[in-house]
Structure 1
Amino acid sequence: MNLDDLPIRDDLRGKTPYGAPQLDVPVRLNTNENPYPPSPGLVADLARAIGEHAGELNRYPDRDAVELRAGLAAYLGHGLATEQVWAANGSNEVLQQILQAFGGHGRTAMGFEPSYSMHPIITSGTSTEWIDASREEDFSLDPGKAVAAIEEHRPDIVFITSPNNPTGTAQPLDTIAAIAAAAPGIVVVDEAYAEFAREGTPSALTLLPAHPRMIVTRTMSKAFAMAGTRLGYLAAHPAVVQALLLVRLPYHLSTLTQTAARVALRHQEELLGTVDALRRERDDTVAWLRSKGLVVADSDANFVLFGRFPDRRAVWQGVLERGVLIREVGPPEWLRVSIGTGEEMAAFRAALEGVL
């Protein structure tokens, strides 16, 4: 028996699961992880904290993760209260809960592609129709065209990714505000890479008071260097959080996950201390790629999209054969490299130069 023999939903037939290659190579720069591991002090603190709760693992965790949400609200600032913050297993589960609560059969979600590929995947997985409203040739969003697309299709959910993935550029607040004003339903601003944005780039969190149907999602997987923890979260009006309680699974955040995330918040200064170094490495990478005659999208994230290659698979394969794994993702003719340590980026430059 194979997949075709199973009675899966018709709208799932022919689709492939999401996933970046997981290969054992010397340098992995394909999943936008923070390359700097937690310090021995943080690891020791985490071990102590888990040890304190290990004797209680026969009991369910705090169903509403109140202490964690309070810590996340304090970290985000902007006057947010605990009841305005929600957390789940990675930002993907946060997005799934949003679609379960506000999407579904007969409803639609709109995004501006190229953008985060999980948005349409999670949308279809919740039986919601996906509408692609394309970006401009330079990957920017034209506010007038975006508003016109919303007025034409009247989607129940609109996704805006800022900084955008895989292109890397943050959206101006005026554009986000125009989309939020036009949208008839929920507007999700995916800020997974917000901490990497260039100095002075405002967050959509500032728009929440004026737009009660807006949701801003974040993650600990990127700047916080806690991808293995699987902790995503959002900020929104308290009523939005109440709606998500209707669809969340009971006790969805384990005791260990909540503990690790609280420890990360205690060490936020250390964990976020690598952001400036990664920004500098990113900007140096952009300059180097352009010096080689390549086209590079402006980046506010911890990755860079570059091209254009008539046969990007050959370039990707050539770099891989030299021990560096990057990502074949986004529009045809483009590749994406995550920003690693100085040594890792030197290896990337040597590998790419060898291919070019």
Structure 2
Amino acid sequence: MEYERTIIERGVMHEAVHGQPLDFATIRNPLGHSPTLSQNLEYCQGMSERELCGEIASWLSVDADMVALGNGSDELIRALPQIFLAPGQLCVLPIPTYFALAQSIARHGAEILTVPTLPENGFAYDGTFLQGLLDTIEEKQPGMVWICRPNNPTGLTMDIEALDHIAELTPGLVVVDEAYQEIVDPGNQASAVRLLSCRSNVLVTKTFSKTFGLPEIHVGMAIGHPGVIQKMAEVNQRQMIPERSRASAAAALIDTEHLYRVSQFIRDESTEFWNDIQNIPSIQAASRSHIGIFLLRHREDSLHLRLKRIGIASHDYINEPGLEHMEFSRIGLQSKENNRILLAALRAMEFRQGEKL
């Protein structure tokens, strides 16, 4: 256990461990973009936005008029309430979830009604949660329901049948954020995009930042009924996506096999991490994630502060809706080497049981 002792006594910045701080607060693709991206870029120069929409449509097996683009998925998130919700209109939002959703809804003057997933059920989109959500939709008749699938920060997903039931009952728009969908479903066989053939009120947002490994190009996409996409085009005033970003996105779509490699790596690392965490008594994981995102807490005090002190960054969720005062921190798995260092650091905390920060 000498390695663990070195971590807890000297931190990960010590040359015997890593030599520099480690950032587990940022969610990134450990494998990065496709190794053939640079090679494929030469075939995609001069790609127009319309042509890129066509490439995305081909990838997802939909029509090109069902695709809209954004300068990153966050731009789409900021725009959707403005386009589809009137001030004072209601949006139903499961919690905990991606913080930017509530910020965007509130910014445009719409009302938020939250439906919590429960910690005792691992924050799962389970039957208890689903019944509460459906009851809320039937009673309140919201203008929008917004769901992260898989969810950030819990790492859990919702099955397609449940999502279809939600869309059936919702009078307004059901927005499904699938930033991480390709990690659990690299072929998009269970994507909410599959509902568009029978549900005109579903809008799916995706990104090139996560599984494609291209956060620097800031390209997001929305996939929906042509009427919904047309309304977005009429209302949403945005800058054109830069030519280099358009070309990079198109080049990434040439090698969608890379999504399968990324999916396998992250799912394998998630399984190994989950199994190892079960053998560390002082650390509790909220739920079993398959997308490399975990909510963790120390059974005595702040895990976020303990990790920070030894040079490991995590995202503190103590004040996030649905997680208030539960002392959870979110971590995003990285390379195999860095994940092993994180596990060693968590094991090392066994040496300090009972000590307060």
Tell me the TM-score normalized by structure 1.
Answer: 0.82
**Are the counterparts in 2 of residues 162 and 190 from structure 1 also a CA contact under 8 Å?**
yes
Shift of 1:39: 6.0
Other-structure match for 1:347 = 341
**SS at the partner of 1:280?**
helix
**2:224 aligns to what?**
236
1:219-246 Cα offsets, whole Å, 9 max, x none, are: 1111111111111112110101001012
2:134 alignment partner, SS class: helix
Matched, 1:338 2:332: yes
Select 1:158's aligned residue among 142, 145, 167. Answer: 145
Q: Could you tell me which residue of structure 1 aligns to residue 257 of structure 2?
A: 269
The residue type paired with residue 33 of structure 1 is R
Deviation at 1:25, TM superposition (A): 5.0
Superposition TM-score, scaled by structure 2 size: 0.82
Match of 1:173 in 2: 160
Which string of whole-angstrom CA distances, capped at 9 and with x for unpartnered residues, describes residues 272-322 of structure 1?
52221111001111111122132341213221222354532xx22222333
Q: Is the 8 A contact 2:204 2:223 kept in 1?
A: yes
| Change over 3 Å in CA distance of 1:349–1:250 after alignment to 2 | closer
Question: Partner letter of residue 349 of structure 2?
Answer: V
CA distance in 2, matches of 1:168, 1:288: 17
Please say if 1:66 is aligned against 2:54: no
CA contact (8 A) 1:97 1:247 kept: no
Please tell me whether the aligned partners of residues 186 and 263 of structure 2 are also in contact (alpha carbons under 8 angstroms).
Answer: no
Change (3 A) 1:173 1:250: closer
Report how many residues are paired: 318
Please list every run of 5 or more consecutive structure 2 residues that lacks an aligned counterpart in the other structure. 1-18, 351-357
Distance 1:233 1:160 in 2: 16
The Cα offsets for residues 167-213 of structure 1, whole Å up to 9 and x where unpaired, read as: 11111222212211111100011111111127998222222222101
Q: Which residue, 71, 81, 85 being the options, matches 1:89? A: 71
Say whether the 8 Å CA contact 1:229–1:257 is kept in structure 2.
Answer: yes
| CA–CA distance in structure 1, aligned partners of residues 186 and 218 of structure 2 | 27
Selected match of 2:178 from 166, 175, 191: 191
Equivalent runs, 1:5-16 vs 2, <5 Å: none
Quote the residue 1:34 is aligned against: 29
Q: Unmatched 5+ residue regions in structure 1?
A: 1-23, 54-60
Deviations 1:317-343 (A, max 9, x none): 222333322221252222221121100
Aligned equivalents of 2:300, 2:202: Cα separation in 1: 40
Contact 2:295 2:331 in 1 (8 A): yes
Percent identity between the aligned chains? 26
* Cα distance in 1 for residues equivalent to 2:257 and 2:141: 42
Aligned mates of 1:186, 1:121 — CA distance in 2: 18
- The residue that corresponds to 1:202 in the other structure is 190
Contact 2:292 2:333 in 1 (8 A): yes
Moved more, 228-237 or 317-326: 317-326
Contact 1:45 1:263 in 2 (8 A): yes
